[in-house]
Amino acid sequence: MSNVTKLEIRVGGHDGRILVLKGRVAWMVDRLIKAGPRGTTSIESPAPRISHYVFKAREAGLNIETVDEPHDGAFSGRHGRYFLRSTVEVLSLEVAA
């Protein structure tokens, strides 16, 4: 698991605005970028508050879609699959040593 601590991205193409994300929000957006069109879930990207990190990324201006899907197992139920819908370009990223 990558431990991204800071992520600088350009949103919306060549003339788009630049966002600097830190901490778990940076980690979550990095996970969403790497997941691409398949998206990601808390099952695939475990973290204590994944929906909060998505919420904070949305507050920063990113378009992230949530699709509800079922899962089986001992704790069967439903979870969200998150998709980054904004076009982003990674300008820089920092990873903890």
For the chain, what are the domain ranges?
4-95
pLDDT of residue 1: 54
What value does the mean pLDDT take over residues 54-72? Answer: 95
**Per the confidence metrics, is the pTM higher than 0.85?**
yes
What value does the mean pLDDT take over residues 47-74? Answer: 93
Could you give the angle at the alpha carbon of 36 between the alpha carbons of 35 and 37, nearest 5°? Answer: 115
Per-residue burial over 4-16, b if 16 or more Cβ lie within 10 Å, else e, is bbebbbbbeeeee
Round the average pLDDT of the chain to a whole number and report it: 93
What value does the mean pLDDT take over residues 68-90? Answer: 92
What value does the mean pLDDT take over residues 67-92? Answer: 92
Longest Cα–Cα distance of the chain, Å, equals 48
